[in-house]
Structure 1
């Protein structure tokens, strides 16, 4: 077997591999010998089928399998022996001339193919000790606990039917048929739905125009769908709704007391407040973690500069761009609305893709050097979380992960990343800072820069 490097440019490599026809023939003979003991052919005693006969029957299929195995083996060992790691699955190219291919499959001609791949870049990990991190921490205010309790209460509020005109806060049961230009449109009709006036469940103006209606009344309501409505066909369009009022019900007094807590399976109102506070603290904790992680990744990004495998960046960019275009098509957003152009957006998202790939490689190497590992138990927990999301389909979800190494890697990657972050926070110089709830939970436009995950490069 002969392996020659035909390209070495930056991170790009190309190898040309030649496997002599003699070696193909030897492998084929060994495979046919194996088959001789396994096949049962009419007119031949077991194990006594002549080689030529076997070759006629199975030669081409056996040879196709041998070529596939040789290509996979050679590619793997050649890259390993060169002390390189491929960033992604190498691309293999061989002849597409049918006559030539048949000669190879008959073991009459040498097998030649090229292997194209990019290597992972060599780089040094910057010093993590002393990276300054400010951990923002906010106390959960009592009024937010009350707000959350009231929201839970709203969900279980009772209503009583009334024979009066509807007003704010009433729950109305209606049937309706929506039309645009006099034509009924898809999804715009329902013969039994409940709306609480003032809750903002329906498009602006709809609930407002239900004030004053009574049970049994029929009314046509005219409204306009908002410009940013998710359905492109409806966004910005004027519509009419023929409404039939079936019931007007008034809200009953909401009593947040022990009895209310017990209905929710908690022994007292105090215990319910504790549970709500704990949930809010957990949400605040997640926000703190995101802010800290963001600072850490910013610092790592600043400290590392090295060439990136183009194909990895391209793949990451495609993933991001697919989501962007999905938003453009399905949510009626446009680049102009966001104050940019498609060209500028592409450049910005390419930079984000580069950042994600760079950080993925840096985190991967830090984790490797620190011997960070994801245990079986942690994987099982993550799998259990996935399974819980699909009640009734548990078995299919488990099978999906059992048969799909990439899916398992997608479970492992975020756990690995969080463990590497923990390892770095031990070394960093972290100081706590008390902030307001608003500061902690303020939207950070940059958050989407870091939904990268540790890449698995051991193909």
Structure 2
């Protein structure tokens, strides 16, 4: 087997691999000899089929297998000898495409190698961590929000007009073209105005109604309505308003706490404080992570595989196109050419991705099975009733597993760097932290 370098330019490599006819024939004979004891053909006892007949019967099939194994072996040996790591799957093709049995096999292998990643002195990295402590006012605000969610509705004074946010108790009968339809009627139905739980336009027409009013509500079913016989149709609902009720927040007391699974009000306050602290810490970590990545991007420079940058730029352009065109759900929009800004962002992502991957590999940072299972379970909750199917899909889809694993791995590497970097804490207000988070979101949007 002969391997000859034909291109060495930057990170691009190309090699010519030659498998001589004699080497191929030797490998074919070896594979046939290995299989011979188990082969049984008509007229011959098991293991007694002559080699010449075996070669005539199975030679072509075995030759293809031997050729593939030889090329794969040569590639594996090449990467082991050179230490090269291809950025993407190497491109391998036969150069003597009119090859015939008895001739040498000539193959071209080309790839872009991953660059050498320079060492990073992580102890020299200087970061600032924003620290926010939940104030009593923040806890009280959260308590009021919980009380509003646990609200009751009390009858308004006689003759009061329904307002947005009120609950109206109604009887209604719906009809299309004068014919009542199944599922279009109910009695004593409690409807909260502004909840958007009914057909668009229905609730708005009951604002201002009073107990005892008869209201003819006219609406159109959406074109995408679930019941095809009603989709896009105009409907009339004969509606009787039986009561108008105003929302009354639940009292902030031990009973409210028990509704949310806490032993008493003080315990609920403690839970809220812990939740707020976790939210603030998570936001502060996101800000500090961005600052870390900015420092690494500025300090660490190395050549990037053009193919990785090109692939990433196209993905960015495609993603941003769909964000700008949310109604375009298909992929028949033609080629989307990346801009200079897309390439600039792609270079940053590829550089940081390669750097973090190198740090993770050198320091034996791995995503455990339990961490993966937990992440898959979290995503599976987005598909109630189909959790098992989602698990099976992830198990059978390596690309999906990689998509789930990648952010977990990145966060573990970032946490490792945080442990070594020089981090100082800076107490700030909730508003200052929020401004920092909004600044990140604006950068991402831009």
Smaller-chain TM-score bracket? 0.7 to 0.9
The answer as to whether partners of 1:176 and 1:191 remain within 8 angstroms in 2 is: yes
Structure 2 CA distance for partners of 1:362 and 1:20, relative to 1, 3 Å: same
Question: 1:204, 1:42 → 2: CA distance?
Answer: 77
Q: For residue 48 of structure 1, give the secondary structure of its aligned residue in structure 2.
A: coil
1:166 correspondence with 2:162: yes
Q: Does 1:436 align with 2:429?
A: yes
Moved more, 112-121 or 412-421: 412-421
- What is the SS of the residue equivalent to 1:217? strand
- The 3 A distance-change label for structure 1 pair 57 and 383 is farther
Equivalent of 1:283, from 279, 286, 303? 279
Q: 1:54 & 1:155 partners in 2: Cα distance?
A: 79
What whole-Å deviation, never above 9, does each CA across 1:286-343 have from its counterpart, x for those lacking one? Answer: 101011111111011111222210111122223322321222332579xxxxxxxx97
Aligned equivalent of 1:85: 85
Mapping for residues 71-82 of structure 1, pairs under 5 Å: 71-82=71-82
Please, what TM-score do these two structures have when normalized by structure 2? Answer: 0.77
- Flag the 1:53–1:392 CA change in 2: closer, same or farther, 3 A: farther
- 1-side partners of 2:272 and 2:438: how far apart? 25
Q: Distance in 1 between matches of 2:322 and 2:54?
A: 54
1:62 aligns with 2:57: no
Which residue of 2 is the match for residue 149 of structure 1?
143
Larger mean CA deviation between 151-160 and 294-303 belongs to 151-160
Shift of 1:202: 8.8
Distance in 2 separating the partners of 1:441 and 1:190: 46
* Shift in Å, 1:410: 4.2
| 2:365 matched residue in structure 1 | 373
- Where does residue 110 of structure 2 map in the other structure? 116
Aligned with 1:385 (options 352, 355, 375):
375
Pair 394,62 (structure 1): closer, same or farther in 2 beyond 3 Å: farther
* Secondary structure of the corresponding residue to residue 84 of structure 1: coil
1:300 to 1:389, Cα distance in 2 relative to 1, 3 A: closer
Relative to structure 1, is the Cα distance of residues 25 and 385 closer, same or farther in structure 2, using a 3 angstrom cutoff?
A: same
Runs (5+) with no aligned partner, structure 1: 183-188, 226-238, 334-341, 452-459
Residue 124 of structure 1: CA displacement? 2.1
TM-score computed with the length of structure 1 as normaliser: 0.75
Q: CA RMSD in A?
A: 4.1
| 1:357 has 2:350 as partner | yes
Report if aligned partners of 1:209, 1:221 keep a CA contact under 8 Å in 2: no
Residue deviations 1:243-273, cap 9 Å, x none? 5547666255323332233233322222222
Tell me how far apart the structure 1 counterparts of residues 76 and 190 of structure 2 sit (CA, whole Å): 62
CA distance in 2 between partners of 1:136 and 1:190 (Å):
55
Distance (whole Å) between structure 1 residues aligned to residue 414 and residue 310 of structure 2: 26
- 1:82-127 CA distances to partner (integer Å, 9 max, x unpaired)? 2322122211122584xx35x2xxx422221111111112242243
In terms of mean alpha carbon deviation, does 425-434 or 348-357 score higher? Answer: 425-434
Residue 192 (structure 2) pairs with residue 196 (structure 1): yes
**Do 1:128 and 1:428's aligned partners in 2 also have CA atoms closer than 8 Å?**
yes
- Take 2:411 and 2:12, find their aligned partners in 1: how far apart are those partners? 31
Q: 1:116 to 1:206 in 2, by over 3 A?
A: farther
Partner of 1:455: none
Moved more, 201-210 or 265-274: 201-210
Q: Are residues 156 and 46 of structure 1, via their aligned partners in 2, closer, same or farther at CA, if it must alter by over 3 Å?
A: farther
Aligned length: 413
What SS class does the counterpart of residue 290 from structure 2 fall into?
A: helix
State the secondary structure of the residue aligned to 1:37.
helix
The aligned residue for residue 267 of structure 1 is 263
Q: Write the distance in 1 (CA, Å) between the matches of 2:173 and 2:60.
A: 67
Q: Is the 8 A contact 2:162 2:207 kept in 1?
A: yes
Name the CA shift for 1:48/1:197 in 2 (closer, same or farther; >3 Å): same
1:49 CA displacement: 2.7
Higher radius of gyration, 1 or 2: 2
Kept after mapping to 1: 8 A contact 2:167/2:246? yes
The corresponding residue for 2:340 is: 347
Q: Which secondary structure does the structure 1 equivalent of 2:45 belong to?
A: coil
* Residue of structure 1 in register with 2:230 after alignment: none
